[in-house]
Structure formats: structure tokens, C-alpha cells
Structure 1
Amino acid sequence: MYVQIDPLEAWERLRASRSDRPGRASSGARAKTYSTALEQAQQMFRAAEVVGPQTRPLLVFYGLSQAGRAIAAAAVDLKGEDWNLISHGIHASGYHRDFADIEIRTDPAGTAGSFVRLSQLLQSPLWGNDTVVRLEEIWDTLPANLQYPLSGRARLTPLYAATTSIDDTDFHPLLTVDVGDIPDRVVDDGGRAALDEFLKSYPGTTGYEDFARRRVGAEEGPNYRRHNPDAGWLSMHWQMPSETGTEEQRLERLDTMTRNYASHCYFFPAVADLPRELHPLMAWWAVLYALSMLARYQPAQWANHINVDGSRHAVPIEKILERAMEHLPVLIADTIKEVATWP
């Protein structure tokens, strides 16, 4: 589902926060880092707007990296010197492989790299050096890439959770949510077994009670509704805890099951059998890191990938870099608010 994004409003929020700095960025070295890092991030994003895909990933990634330092400076859970980010904490290799199969690894938990510190802060998984996650797997977790696959392989993309489908009935025992962007292969199968197997990759959906059925009867299959030729919607039910079930409580329950993305709720997939899904900001971080390293250290290969006359990946790459400049300011502002809230 396409999400409308307003990056200008997000940059206004971020600039306004520099005179009323949030969380632990209120004074001292953290305050200076917060303001300077955000200024650098905004200037890099502005510079990225006027260059092409040859150099854009470098500017966008390092803009995000500097914004990460502002996030860490504001974070109330990072104490002592833990907020001072050092090194990348993430690695990419296998650039001789197909673009979709570039390999991404991380430093282990507890180390000082930016990706590690921010992932632990945001309860986003790490996978170390022994597990390989392919670029395509993380690429597919970004809502911005829903219409831009890198290959013809079966995808695990975000599932949209429509909060507007939660009615205002108080003390209802079920949380009922319309879930969208269920892929064609699951919808076409039409059975519960295929749905259950598919949802194993979505930790947030665990424990769903039931779903809207085509007809009355426990053996009837899901009543999918098409919203485009490649995906469908399904009304799904989760049991609420006993003696609860106001509209507000149902929304709170959904919030614990999903991740927020620009004020919208999504069930995100867990890649490579990791225990939970990546935080959206860290998914963007991993993808942009891989693109920036490819552009910086393998410029000839990068030129081949972005050649619209010869590469099937050229347009998806162009689109993700465009969407990065739109989506990331909103995610950065929302993440600062998330980490700077005092308990």
C-alpha cells in the first residue's frame, strides 16, 4: 500500500527540535552532537537531491549515518559514552554476485559500531558474521520497495495493518484488523495452511485467532479481497485479554504487535530466520550502506547496475534512492521521538 510522506514537515520538526533538544541531548556534548549531526544530515540530503544515482547513495547513507548520531545523543537508554557511535558495525561483500545476492553481515551485539548500538537501542536484531543476509531480503522489508522487486523469487514484504478497520465498539473480545498486501501466491492458494505457513515469517501476527471466511463454517478458507492484481486484504482476528477490549486497548494491542512506519502500522517479516523483524530505520540503514559501499569501492560495477539501458535493477535503484530522501526524514524524526521519551 502506498503511503503518503511529507519530508518537508519532518525536516521542520527536526529543525525545531534543535532549540528544544529532546531526551539526553538537552545539554553538554550530547546537545552539540545532536544539533551538528542533524545539520550535517540535512545538508547531505539536500546535496543528494541535485546529483544522480552515480553518487546519491553516498550522500544519502552518510546523511542517515549522521542522523543516527543525533538519535543516539537523544536516547535516554544510552548512558555514559554509549551514545558516542564509532565505526559502521555492518559489512557488505559478494559484490561479484547478482545485485540481489550481495551479502550483508553485522558486528556482534555489545560492540560499538553505529549499526549495532542503534539496533540494540531499537530492539532490532543483529546476526553477526556467521549468518548471511542477502540484500534482496532486507530490500523487500521496506514499504517503499513493494512495487520494485529485485528478482522473480517469492518475496516477504510488509503487511499493512489498517487501524481504521478497528471499530469504536467498547469491550469487544476480539481485535479485528484488515491486513493488506498479502501476496498473490497466498491469495491464489485460498487455504488456511498456506496462510499459516506464510505468516510464520511475521512474528507480530503470532497467535491470531481466526479470519473472515468465504462462507460460514470452520473448514471454510480465508475471504481475501483483491486491491490490486498482485495482492489482497484479509480481515484477521486476535483474542483480547480477559476483561479488556475498549477501542483504545485494541489499538494499544495492535501497537505492540506491529512496527510504526510514518504513522502507519505494519507487520514486518523477519529475514533469514532471525527471531524478530528489523526496525524500519535499520532496514533502510543496511540497504543504503550496501549501495553506498558498492558505489564507493566498486564504481564500475555500480555504473553497470544503474545503467537503464542494460540493467533490470536500474529503475528500482533510482526509485529507492528517491524514496529514501522522502521517507527517511520522517523515520528519523519519529525515531528520535521514540528513543527520547523518558520512562
Structure 2
Amino acid sequence: MDIHVDADEAWERLRASRWNPPGRAGSGSRRKTYAAALEQTEQMFRAAAVVGPATRPLQVFYGLSQAGRAIAAAAVTLKSEGWRLVTHGIKTTGFDRPFPDIQIRTDPPGTQGSFVRVSEVLDSPVWERDPVRLEDVWDLLPSNLRYPLTTRDRLTPMYVDEVSVGTHEHTLLSVDVCNIPDRVMDAGTREALSDFLTSYPAAAQYESYVSTHALSLGLEAPPEYRRYDHGGGELTINWRMPHGAGTRLDGLATGAERLAHLRAMTRGYAGDRYFLPVLPSMKRELHPLMAWWAVLYALSMLARYQPAAWGTLISVDNSQHAVPIERLLERAINHLPVLIADTITEVST
């Protein structure tokens, strides 16, 4: 699916917030940092829009890094001097490896590095010992669904259609789950679906799904997938509503209650909701903003410290990764202002 964003509207939101900053950025040093950091963020992104891939990762990453300072300044959970960010808090190694296999690590939890501190505010994991491959984080971005780096099996975000929740009362949360890969649908079994969903803990505890036996609900019959022309497909999946979540004594839940439960199970991205996979080295799903942060940090380090290798990677005549990188950087300029504005709202309320 195409992701529609309005970067100009997001910049208006961010600029409008500066006269009366949200959360804890309302006064003192936090207010000054909030305003100055967002000004630098916007200027970095504006500059990135007029240059090519040779230097674009540098402007976009450092713009995002400065936005992290505004996020920390506004965060209501960061008290005293905990909002001040020092160092990057993230590292890349393995530049001698193929591009998808570049390794990314973070500083330990509780440190002052920007990546670590913003991750903690967003309840997003850090990983200090086991490196994560660039390709694995790349695949966590909804905008990269159609831009794989290799032919390996992928774990990508699964879009959920909030409209499919409906407004009627029911004992189950039932939604259309999209972007299920061909390998799962080709297997066609309940076991294949369950094995696949183990990487999506929030989705794995499903109650039932629409099956192939006259569209009956149950676990015994194979799933009734709906395939897309361009690959992948979707399935209607059902979850039981949690006890004590506002449901009535008869077990029925309103549409609003079921929608709230869906939002608790998923992560937001530019107005949409996704089930995100949990990578093996992580304890929970990576917040989309932090997935962007990790990928752009790796690309900026390549561009800055390995300029010849970077020049080869972005050459459409010499690299299979050139066009995916171009698309990623274009989407970074458009998507990140929306994610930054949404994240500031998230941490300041």
C-alpha cells in the first residue's frame, strides 16, 4: 500500500508548537533547546531536499538527531537533567561486509546517548551485545515494503485496516491484517500462519481467522487469504477482548473499545497502524522513529567515513541497492516530519 503523508502540514505543526512548547519544554533551557533544535531540524531537511544521495544521508540523519533533542526536551517522563542528550548512543561496524550485513549496535540502557534516551522515552528497545543487521532494521520501515535489499525471507510491518473494526458490538476484535508474505500463503496452513506470527507477539495470540470452509470462523480449516496482484495478501484475524477492558458482562465490546484494544496492540506510523515484528536480539518491537534513526545513522556513517564505497552503492550503473537507497532517502524527507510531530505529541501528553 502507498503511504500518504503531508510533510508541509507536519512542518506547520512543528513550527506552530514553538511559541508555546508542549510537555516539559515550556520554560527555561528546555524551551530554548526545543525551539533551536526544531529550527535546525527543519533547515537540515530543507537542505537535504536540494542535494543528491551523495550527501543527503548526512543532512537527514543530523536533522533527525536534532529532532531527538526537541523530543527529549518535551518528554514528560524525563525529569531533572535527564533530557540532555550527549553522544549518538549507537554504533555501526562491518563496513567491509555486503551492504545488507552492516552491523548496528547501541549503547547500554540507562546511558545518555541520544538513541538510547529517546528509545527509553518511546518504550523502544536498545541492544548492546548482539548486533542487528542493517537489512533487518531496513525491513521494519513500512515505506521499504517494496524495496528489499536481498531475496531472503523478510519480516516486515503488517498494516491493519482500522476501518474494518466497525462500530458494532462483538466479543471479538476482528480486523483485516495486510502484507502477509507469499511464503506463508503458499504454505496455506494454520501451522505456517502461527509460526510466522511468533515474530509478531502482539498478533500471535489470535483466537481465530476467516477460513476456507465457506468463510467459517475457526482454527481447523486453512486460512482464507486474499492475494494482491503485486505479491503478498491479507487475512481477517480475530482476537478475544481482554478481561476488564471496558467490556460488558455479556462479553460484548463496542467499536470504540475494540479500536482502543487494536491501537494498544499496534504501533502508529503516519496515521496508520501496524503490527511490527520483534527481532531476535530485541525484547519488543522497535518504534518506527527509532528504526529510521538506526538506518539513517548507518547510511550517514557510510557516506561520511566511506565515501568511495558509498559512491559505488548509490551508482545506478553499479549497484542493485542504488534505487532502494534513493527511494528511502526521498521518503525520509517526506515521512520523518510527520513522525517527528506525532512523536512529540506522544511524549508530551
TM-score category (smaller protein): over 0.9
- Aligned length, in residue pairs: 339
1:156 corresponds to 2:155: yes
TM-score (norm 2): 0.96
Query: In 1, distance between residues paired with 2:43 and 2:204?
Result: 42
Equivalent residues of 2:138, 2:291 under 8 A apart: yes
Q: Which amino acid aligns with 1:312?
A: Q
The aligned counterpart of 1:101 is 101
1:177-223 per-position Cα deviation (integer Å, ceiling 9, x unaligned): 10000001111111111111111111221311010001146521000
Equivalent residues of 1:104, 1:135 under 8 A apart: yes
Equivalent residues of 1:173, 1:241 under 8 A apart: no
Deviation of residue 273 (structure 1)?
A: 4.2
The aligned counterpart of 2:262 is 254
| Aligned Cα root-mean-square deviation (Å) | 1.0
The aligned counterpart of 2:64 is 64
Equivalent residues of 2:24, 2:76 under 8 A apart: yes
The aligned counterpart of 1:207 is 205
> Which of the numbers 292, 310, 319 marks the counterpart of 1:302?
310
Equivalent residues of 2:209, 2:219 under 8 A apart: no
1:147 corresponds to 2:146: yes
**4+ residue stretches of structure 1 with deviation over 6 A?**
none
Q: Which SS does the other structure have where 1:234 is aligned?
A: strand
Query: In 1, distance between residues paired with 2:231 and 2:310?
Result: 30
Deviation of residue 226 (structure 1)?
A: 1.2
Deviation of residue 20 (structure 1)?
A: 1.6
The aligned counterpart of 1:339 is 347
Query: In 2, distance between residues paired with 1:174 and 1:44?
Result: 46
Q: Tell me, which stretches of 5 or more residues in structure 2 are unaligned?
A: none
Q: Which SS does the other structure have where 2:137 is aligned?
A: helix
TM-score (norm 1): 0.97
Q: Tell me, which stretches of 5 or more residues in structure 1 are unaligned?
A: none
Equivalent residues of 1:56, 1:321 under 8 A apart: yes
Query: In 2, distance between residues paired with 1:228 and 1:100?
Result: 27
1:82-132 per-position Cα deviation (integer Å, ceiling 9, x unaligned): 10110000000101100000000000001110000011110101110x201
The aligned counterpart of 1:3 is 3
Q: Which SS does the other structure have where 1:24 is aligned?
A: coil
> Which of the numbers 276, 284, 292 marks the counterpart of 1:284?
292
Q: Which SS does the other structure have where 1:196 is aligned?
A: helix
Query: In 1, distance between residues paired with 2:67 and 2:212?
Result: 48
Query: In 2, distance between residues paired with 1:218 and 1:4?
Result: 35
Deviation of residue 228 (structure 1)?
A: 3.1
1:177 corresponds to 2:175: yes
Equivalent residues of 2:130, 2:281 under 8 A apart: no
Query: In 1, distance between residues paired with 2:31 and 2:328?
Result: 32
Query: In 2, distance between residues paired with 1:83 and 1:218?
Result: 48
